[in-house]
Structure formats: structure tokens, C-alpha cells
């Protein structure tokens, strides 16, 4: 029974996702261990999808259903996770609570925290221990956020609490999972993101893309929301909806961000971590304005900077606003620097995981990328160039994150960050100001 | 990338965009079981995504966006039809129908101005997606007759005509049961 409780507790699943035999299913339903919930909530005249919270009429469709011989609604918003329709209930575990392994010392990580990290770590520990509702960690890129979480998570694990770390990107889940597996021993840890097929497993510690939380309800006692300012979290209302529903009533929510923009966040109890774990300041972006009548679209600025870069041994990340631009740039860069190993990666790239690994393994010198690599993914020693930094995809949060890719390693704490643009946007100005302010706070 | 409507000239047998008889039909044109096939769209990555969303994810209302073009293509390709023309959608196995909640061939048939009759059923599951061309063509006929209809012309309806194996298997069962005048119509060729 505990096996089933561990597997199903806190999840909100379609019939086919339960993976139960018909007799098991009938038994659990008859004994109220499993409860069937109506898939749609009917408010006055309007419909709401229970799984994703969608209320928009145009995101519901109607189909003549061969199973119930009726024409009825289905949700188009969350259809990629399996279709929710009027005649398919969502199932929720109402049986015994899962019991997790009792571990005296789940954390085997023995690294050293910097004083700034230790202070944040203490606050997180305290928040979890006292059941504080929320805490915002405002930390610069490269502050060492993951390690700050370890002590609090270890306490939660020992207290039989369930923890989720939600992040906007699958790349980040892939990067964090092995680090947590190394830091915690004997703990059931599961990493979830679209298409990795692991959604049948569960653990006491879940590392997931925010989208995966659509499959949870009242599951987590500690919810850590990484990059709460990042797209798509603040753009898609179903993500905050699912994040809230995935938590238990007394849950502690810990928000992590490098750029708190929303007023709602600014009102939360906040801990600043303005200094990077290696103690060096954040690289300040250098602004290159594309002159009028420049037909190279900023490439002349790129060539000039490249010739005089401070450390030619660093790898180079070039960010473009669109996939199309990345595709156009790729042959140009290859022709210009024939002795450099150049590669191109974007969101719809099937070989994306492999290419990022090659870059990390230093099998590539220059990686042209769209904003998919703006956050979470770290490389020790890179220079960063943003072409067309005034494009609207580069909002303040994105620019701060992109700049934060440079200087991550104590052996090379600097790195050139170049924004190339023709018209200065608020996002550029605010990003530079935010970076300078954090350096000042850190005492530089 | 967009939808690519098939225009003349087409292969006079399978309706593929081609001059005269296409390579596929030159290689394999089994006993002229059907008069001809006609299709609305050429296969391309955009259509592939659309079909995935419509058929596998089950976003039924996508058919509404295509229905006008489906109807128009049908009327142009089949201009003078006998009064007793009947549409027969290729059936799904009951298990697959239960999973999907609708039969995509039936959804296509509903866009057309003739009555639909469920004349066939599957004797076994459908798994041709994984089979190669030769295996598909030589496999045992997966259909059987489940009803009777008084029709001068039967038009089989399916979503995709790839090798033509499915359509020809269905046509073969109909022929064996005395229906002699058979054509077919698909969304994609
Ligand atoms: Zn939904
Ligand atoms: Zn139904
Ligand atoms: Zn042909």
C-alpha cells in the first residue's frame, strides 16, 4: 500500500496515467483510497479546466465522443499532457499518506558555504522549520543558490516533508538532478520534464519543470520556485495556478530570483545574496551601439570586440533574438572564424542536449543560441555577446541572466559581456542598473 | 511553412501531385480495386504537426478549419456522382477508438455532402505505423463487413493514403461482397 501511496499521493491524473489494473482501480475507488474528481468546474455560465485552470472559451473545444455518445467539451489548453474532457474524471489519491525512508543524515554534501550563502541558508532552514508561508531569495547569478537550499531540504526530508523544486526549463532539471543525487543519499529523487517519460515515478524530492505541476494537487510541503520572474512562469496563468494547487495548505514557498520585478514579490520577506560564491563582482555589460547606416546589423561591432577580447581562450556564447537570425548568423561566423569550432542551438533543436554537452566539454569554441540558454545552464569560462539586445525577447530578467553566464568560475571570475543594439531599451538600462546595484550592495 | 493543397496535374490513380501515373502506382497498382483516390493536401511537416494534434492528441475542432477545403476538393474531384453514393470511413479498432474518443476518418466524412455508413470493422488492431512497405502490403486483411447498404458507388474515406494498403484492403472486402463501384478520398496523399 505504501508503494501505491508513494506513487499516487498528491497527484491529479487521468485514467491512463494511473497505470492501475481494472480490479485495483475498482477496489481503490470503492474503498475511497482514490477519488474521482469532475474534470471541469462549472461556474456561472463559464467552464474551468480543473487540471490547468483554463477559463478561456476559445481554449475549449467540442467533440462528438464515441465513448459516451454525446457531444461535449474538452480542454485545448493542456491537451499536450493528455486530453481532459467532460467524461474523463481526474483521479486523486485519498488513501493513507505515504511514508518515506527515515534518514538520520540524508545530506552527504560536505562543501563549505560562503558567509553570504550561509546567511541565506539559515533563513531558508528557519522558514521551513517554523512553517513560514513564504520567503524570497534575491540572489545574483552565480551566488550558489543550489547549495543554499541543501540544509533546509535536509531538514524537510528528515521531517517526512515532501519537497518540490520547480524551474521553467528542462535543461535546468537535467543539470540539477545529478547534483541533488550526489548531495543526498538514500532519498527518492525524481526529475520531471516534458517527454522524459518519468511521470510514473514519484519521490520525496521532486525536481520538475513548472508545467509538470499540472499533474499535482496538495502534494508538497515545501515548494521552491526557481526563476520566478522567468518566462513562461509570469506569462502563462496556468503555471501559478498549478504551483499553488500543488502545495499543501501549510506549505512553505521559497522563491528564487535574480530580478524581482513584480510588486507582489517585492512585498515578501526577502534575503539578498548580492555576492557571487567566488567573491568577485558581476561583470558589467559593455554597450555597443550600432551606428546609423551600419549595414552589418551590428556584426562590425562584434568583429572589433572579438579582435581585442581580453582572454581569447574563453569560449563564446552569442545570443540572437530569433531562430531565423541564429540560422543566418551561423554560416557568417563560420566563414569569419574558420579555425573556431562553431555550433548553433535553439529551442526546437533535437540535438540540443548533445550540443550543450559538447560546449561544456570544450569540444566547441563558439555557440550561437536563442534565449534557451539564458539561465540555469552554467559554463566555467565564457564571453557573452547579445546581438540585437534591443529586441523585445530580451527583457530585463533575460538580460541580467544572460550577463550572469560570464565569470562563473573562481579561476576565471571575469568575462566580457557585450550588448549590441541600435536603440537603447528600458530593459537594457534597467538590467545594467540592477547589476551595478547588486555589485554595490556586495561592497564593490 | 503552410498547408499545400494538391492541384492538377495529379497521378490519375492515387491523386498524388505528379504527371500521369506516379512511381508508387507504377510499381504497385493492385488489380484496380478502386476507380481512383483523390486527396486534399500534400504531406509536409506542417501538416504532420496538424495531424498529430488532431488525431493523436485529439484536438477535434481542428477539422473545422479544414472542412471547407475538404468539401471543395471533394466536389471538384467527384463532380457527377450517382444518387446512391455512400461514404464509408475506414474504422479504428475498438480499443483505439476508446482511447481517441473519435474516428478521424468519420470526422472527415462529416464534412462531405453524402451519407456516411459504418460498413466495416477491424478484426485486429492497427499497427502499420511500424511496418515497412512490403510488410504492410502483404499483411492479412484487417477488415470485415459488418453491415449492408444499397449503394451505386462507395467512397472510402481515410486521413492518409501512404502506400494505399489500408484503402485497398477495405476495397477488397467490399468487392468480395458484391460492391463493384468503389473510389476513395483522403485528407493527405
Ligand atoms: Zn486544461
Ligand atoms: Zn465522452
Ligand atoms: Zn499514384
> Rounded to whole angstroms, how far apart are CA atoms A143 and A24?
48
Say how many C-beta atoms besides its own lie within 10 A of residue B5's C-beta.
13
Give DSSP secondary structure letters for B142-185.
Answer: -EEE------SEEEEEEEE-SSSHHHHHHHHHHHHTT---EEEE
Do A370 and A346 touch, CB atoms closer than 8 A?
yes
Task: Judge: A62–B103 Cβ closer than 8 Å, yes or no.
Answer: no
Distance B69 CA to ligand 3 centre (A): 21
Note the pLDDT of residue B91.
96
For chain B, the average pLDDT equals: 89
Question: Is pTM, for the whole model, over 0.90?
Answer: no
Nearest to A151 by CA among A194, A118, A200: A118
Q: What is the DSSP letter of A232?
A: T
**Contact status of A64 with chain B (Cβ, < 8 Å):** yes
Note the pLDDT of residue B186.
97
Range B20-44 average pLDDT = 84
What's the first-to-final CA gap in chain B, in angstroms? 17
Question: Rounded to a whole number, what is the distance in Å from the CA of B50 to chain A's nearest CA?
Answer: 13
> What is the DSSP pairing of strand B143-145 with strand B120-122?
antiparallel
Task: Judge: B60–A16 Cβ closer than 8 Å, yes or no.
Answer: no
Note the pLDDT of residue A308.
92
Hey, what CATH topology would domain A115-273 get?
A: Rossmann fold (3.40.50)
pLDDT tens, residue by residue, B60-103: 999 999 999 999 999 999 988 999 999 999 999 999 999 999 99
**Contact status of A15 with chain B (Cβ, < 8 Å):** no
Cβ-Cβ contacts under 8 Å, A83 against chain B: 57-59, 101
> Rounded to whole angstroms, how far apart are CA atoms A309 and A330?
20
Measured on CA atoms in the order A245, A247, A250, A255, is the torsion positive or negative?
Answer: negative
What CATH code would you report for A286-441? 3.40.50.300
Q: Which of A16, A61, A67 sits opposite B60 (nearest CB)?
A: A61
Note the pLDDT of residue A144.
92
> Rounded to whole angstroms, how far apart are CA atoms A76 and A74?
6
Task: List the domain range (segments joined by +) for residue B122.
Answer: 4-188
> Is residue A8 within a helix (H) or strand (E), and if so which, with residue range?
helix A2-8
Note the pLDDT of residue A262.
73
> Could you state, in order of their start, the residue ranges of all structural domains in chain A?
2-93, 115-273, 286-441
Nearest to A362 by CA among A382, A377, A376, A344: A382
In this predicted structure, the answer to whether residue A60 has a pLDDT above a threshold of 60 is yes
> Rounded to whole angstroms, how far apart are CA atoms B101 and A84?
11
> Is residue A73 within a helix (H) or strand (E), and if so which, with residue range?
strand A70-75
Distance A333 CA to ligand 3 centre (A): 45
Nearest to B156 by CA among B10, B5, B67, B36: B36
Note the pLDDT of residue A416.
96
Distance B78 CA to ligand 3 centre (A): 17
Note the pLDDT of residue A169.
84
Cβ-Cβ contacts under 8 Å, B98 against chain A: 66-67
Chain A and chain B share a number of CB contacts under 8 A equal to: 37
Q: How far, rounded to the nearest angstrom, does the alpha carbon of residue A332 sit from its chain's CA centroid?
A: 32
Note the pLDDT of residue A197.
62
Range A306-334 average pLDDT = 94
Note the pLDDT of residue B129.
54
Question: Rounded to a whole number, what is the distance in Å from the CA of A267 to chain B's nearest CA?
Answer: 41
Task: Judge: B53–A65 Cβ closer than 8 Å, yes or no.
Answer: no
Say how many C-beta atoms besides its own lie within 10 A of residue A409's C-beta.
16
Cα angle: A75, vertex A80, A85; to 5 degrees: 30
In this predicted structure, the answer to whether residue B138 has a pLDDT above a threshold of 80 is no
Which residues share a beta bridge with A222? A163, A252
**Contact status of B52 with chain A (Cβ, < 8 Å):** no
**Contact status of B176 with chain A (Cβ, < 8 Å):** no
Range A387-414 average pLDDT = 92
Equal CATH topology for A115-273 and A286-441: yes
In this predicted structure, the answer to whether residue B167 has a pLDDT above a threshold of 90 is yes
Note the pLDDT of residue A402.
92
Note the pLDDT of residue A352.
85
Which residues share a beta bridge with A384? A317, A417
> Rounded to whole angstroms, how far apart are CA atoms A314 and B20?
60
CATH of the domain at B14: 3.40.50
Task: Judge: B58–A83 Cβ closer than 8 Å, yes or no.
Answer: yes
The dihedral over CA atoms of B5, B10, B12, B15, expressed in degrees to the nearest 10, equals -30
**Contact status of A79 with chain B (Cβ, < 8 Å):** yes
Note the pLDDT of residue A266.
80
Give DSSP secondary structure letters for A401-429.
Answer: HHHTTSS-BTTB----EEEEESS--HHHH
Cβ-Cβ contacts under 8 Å, B61 against chain A: 61-63, 76
pLDDT tens, residue by residue, A261-289: 777 778 899 999 999 999 999 999 999 99
> Rounded to whole angstroms, how far apart are CA atoms A382 and A312?
10
Nearest to A412 by CA among A323, A309, A308: A309
Range B150-164 average pLDDT = 94
Nearest to A438 by CA among A286, A310, A285: A285
> Rounded to whole angstroms, how far apart are CA atoms A262 and A233?
12
Domain count, chain B: 1
B106: nearest CA in chain A? Answer: A64
Range A56-85 average pLDDT = 95
Note the pLDDT of residue B132.
61
> What is the DSSP pairing of strand B120-122 with strand A47-49?
unpaired
Burial A110-122 (b: 16+ CB within 10 A, else e): eeebbebbeebbe
Cβ-Cβ contacts under 8 Å, B46 against chain A: none
Note the pLDDT of residue A287.
95
Amino acid at each position: 500500500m505504501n508503494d501505491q501511496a508513494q506513487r499516487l499521493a498528491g497527484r491529479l491524473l487521468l485514467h491512463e496515467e494511473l497505470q492501475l489494473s481494472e480490479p485495483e482501480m475498482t477496489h481503490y475507488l470503492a474503498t475511497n483510497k482514490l477519488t474521482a474528481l469532475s474534470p471541469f468546474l462549472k461556474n456561472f455560465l463559464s467552464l474551468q479546466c480543473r487540471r490547468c485552470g483554463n477559463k478561456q472559451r476559445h481554449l475549449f473545444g467540442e467533440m462528438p465522443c464515441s465513448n459516451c455518445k454525446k457531444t461535449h467539451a474538452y480542454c485545448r489548453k493542456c491537451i499536450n499532457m493528455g486530453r481532459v474532457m467532460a467524461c474523463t474524471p481526474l483521479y486523486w489519491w485519498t488513501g493513507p499518506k505515504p511514508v518515506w525512508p527515515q534518514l538520520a543524515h540524508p545530506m552527504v554534501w560536505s562543501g563549505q558555504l560562503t558567509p553570504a550563502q550561509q546567511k541565506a541558508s539559515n533563513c531558508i532552514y528557519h522558514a521551513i522549520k517554523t512553517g513560514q508561508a513564504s520567503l524570497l531569495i534575491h540572489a545574483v547569478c552565480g551566488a550558489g543558490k543550489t547549495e543554499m537550499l541543501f540544509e533546509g531540504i535536509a531538514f524537510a526530508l528528515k521531517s517526512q516533508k515532501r519537497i518540490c523544486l520547480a524551474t521553467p526549463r528542462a535543461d535546468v532539471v537535467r543539470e540539477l538532478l545529478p547534483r541533488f543525487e550526489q548531495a543526498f543519499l538514500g532519498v527518492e529523487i525524481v526529475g520531471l520534464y516534458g517527454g522524459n517519460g518519468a511521470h510514473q515515478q514519484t519521490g520525496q524530492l521532486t525536481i520538475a519543470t513548472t508545467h509538470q505541476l499540472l499533474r499535482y494537487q496538495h502534494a508538497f510541503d515545501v515548494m521552491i520556485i526557481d526563476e520566478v520572474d522567468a518566462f513562461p512562469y509570469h506569462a502563462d496563468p496556468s503555471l501559478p495556478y498549478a504551483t499553488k494547487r500543488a502545495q499543501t495548505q501549510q506549505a512553505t514557498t521559497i522563491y528564487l530570483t535574480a530580478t524581482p520585478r513584480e510588486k507582489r514579490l517585492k512585498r515578501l520577506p526577502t534575503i539578498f545574496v548580492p555576492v557571487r560564491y567566488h567573491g568577485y563582482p558581476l561583470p558589467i555589460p559593455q554597450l555597443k551601439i550600432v551606428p546609423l547606416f551600419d549595414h552589418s546589423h551590428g556584426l562590425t561591432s562584434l568583429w572589433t570586440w572579438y579582435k581585442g577580447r581580453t582572454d581569447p581562450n574563453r569560449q563564446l556564447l552569442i545570443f540572437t533574438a530569433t531562430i531565423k537570425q541564429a540560422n543566418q548568423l551561423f554560416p557568417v561566423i563560420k566563414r569569419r572564424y574558420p579555425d573556431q569550432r562553431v555550433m548553433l542551438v535553439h529551442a526546437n533543436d533535437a540535438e540540443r542536449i548533445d550540443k550543450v554537452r559538447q560546449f561544456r566539454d570544450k569540444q566547441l569554441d563558439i555557440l550561437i543560441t536563442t534565449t534557451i540558454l539564458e539561465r540555469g545552464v552554467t559554463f566555467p569560462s565564457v564571453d557573452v555577446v547579445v546581438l540585437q539586445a534591443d529586441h523585445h525577447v530580451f527583457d530585463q530578467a533575460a538580460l541580467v541572466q544572460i550577463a550572469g553566464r560570464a565569470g562563473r568560475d573562481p579561476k576565471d571570475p571575469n568575462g566580457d559581456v557585450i550588448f549590441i543594439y541600435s536603440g537603447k531599451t528600458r530593459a537594457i538600462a534597467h538590467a545594467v542598473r540592477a547589476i551595478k546595484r547588486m555589485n554595490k550592495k556586495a561592497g564593490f | 511553412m503552410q498547408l499545400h493543397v494538391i492541384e492538377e496535374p495529379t497521378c490519375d490513380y492515387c491523386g498524388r501531385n505528379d504527371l500521369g501515373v506516379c512511381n508508387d502506382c507504377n510499381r504497385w497498382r493492385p488489380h484496380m480495386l478502386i476507380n481512383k483516390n483523390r486527396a486534399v493536401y500534400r504531406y509536409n511537416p506542417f501538416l504532420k504537426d496538424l495531424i498529430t494534434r488532431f488525431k493523436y492528441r485529439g484536438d477535434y475542432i481542428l477539422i473545422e478549419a479544414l472542412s471547407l477545403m475538404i468539401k471543395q476538393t471533394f466536389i471538384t474531384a467527384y463532380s457527377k456522382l450517382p444518387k446512391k453514393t455512400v461514404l464509408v470511413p475506414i474504422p479504428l479498432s475498438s480499443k483505439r477508438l476508446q482511447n481517441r474518443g473519435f474516428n478521424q476518418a468519420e470526422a472527415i466524412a462529416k464534412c462531405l455532402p453524402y451519407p456516411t455508413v459504418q460498413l466495416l470493422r477491424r478484426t485486429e488492431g492497427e499497427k502499420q505505423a511500424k511496418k515497412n512497405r512490403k510488410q504492410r502490403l502483404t499483411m492479412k486483411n484487417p477488415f470485415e463487413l459488418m453491415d449492408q447498404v444499397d449503394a451505386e458507388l462507395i467512397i472510402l474515406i481515410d486521413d492518409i493514403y501512404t502506400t494505399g494498403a489500408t484503402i485497398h484492403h477495405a476495397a477488397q472486402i467490399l468487392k468480395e461482397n458484391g460492391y463493384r463501384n468503389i473510389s476513395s478520398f483522403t485528407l493527405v496523399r
